[in-house]
């Protein structure tokens, strides 16, 4: 006899596991379900093994059921945690890239505006001779009149 273990885990949101259930059924060696309904009548002998070979004790630990269900739960929890960490890393990387792009654009704009201001001041000073407003010298105007 083999035991089929069915594990069902429902995740309602990305951060929480809402329910986890496990069920098992015995199957024949041919692969079909065992139609023995004798075990359902009384719940006291669920731990007793009908296939006891005389090894004593009578209570066997079902290692498949006791190991697989916690492993499945751990795998699902690790998967959810890894997905959340990956999401946080992606968000952080996107935010850092956006901040770097904004800083670079601001620096480029400041440099271009500064260079344009310097160029305008240079052109204006060459056209007017100086940026200072001076009173005209009366001697220099005497030749014009």
pLDDT at 90: 95
Instruction: Please report which confidence band the pLDDT of residue 41 belongs to, taking 50, 70 and 90 as the band edges.
Output: very low
Instruction: Please report which confidence band the pLDDT of residue 72 belongs to, taking 50, 70 and 90 as the band edges.
Output: confident
Average pLDDT over residues 48-59: 49
Residue of 10, 106, 23, 104 lying closest to 68 (CA atoms): 23
Whole-angstrom distance, CA of residue 143 vs CA of residue 145: 6
CA dist 74 to 5, 20, 22, 39, Å? 17, 12, 14, 31
Instruction: Please report which confidence band the pLDDT of residue 94 belongs to, taking 50, 70 and 90 as the band edges.
Output: very high
Instruction: Please report which confidence band the pLDDT of residue 109 belongs to, taking 50, 70 and 90 as the band edges.
Output: very high
Whole-angstrom distance, CA of residue 61 vs CA of residue 112: 77
Instruction: Please report which confidence band the pLDDT of residue 91 belongs to, taking 50, 70 and 90 as the band edges.
Output: very high
Whole-angstrom distance, CA of residue 131 vs CA of residue 78: 71
Average pLDDT over residues 115-143: 71
Asked whether the predicted pLDDT for residue 67 surpasses 80, the reply is no
Whole-angstrom distance, CA of residue 57 vs CA of residue 20: 31
Instruction: Please report which confidence band the pLDDT of residue 69 belongs to, taking 50, 70 and 90 as the band edges.
Output: confident
């Amino acid at each position: 006899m083999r035991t089929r273990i069915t594990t069902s885990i429902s995740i309602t949101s990305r951060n929480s596991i809402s329910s986890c259930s496990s069920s098992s059924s015995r199957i024949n060696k041919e692969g079909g379900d065992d139609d023995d309904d004798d075990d359902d009548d009384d719940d006291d002998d669920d731990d007793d093994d009908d296939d006891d070979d005389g090894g004593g004790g009578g209570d066997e630990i079902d290692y498949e059921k006791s190991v697989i269900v916690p492993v499945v739960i751990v795998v699902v929890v690790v998967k959810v945690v890894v997905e959340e960490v990956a999401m946080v890393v992606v968000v952080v990387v996107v935010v850092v890239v956006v901040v770097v792009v904004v800083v670079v654009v601001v620096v480029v704009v400041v440099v271009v505006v500064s260079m344009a201001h310097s160029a305008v001041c240079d052109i204006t000073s060459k056209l007017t001779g100086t940026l200072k407003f001076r009173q005209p010298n009366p001697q220099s105007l005497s030749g014009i009149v």
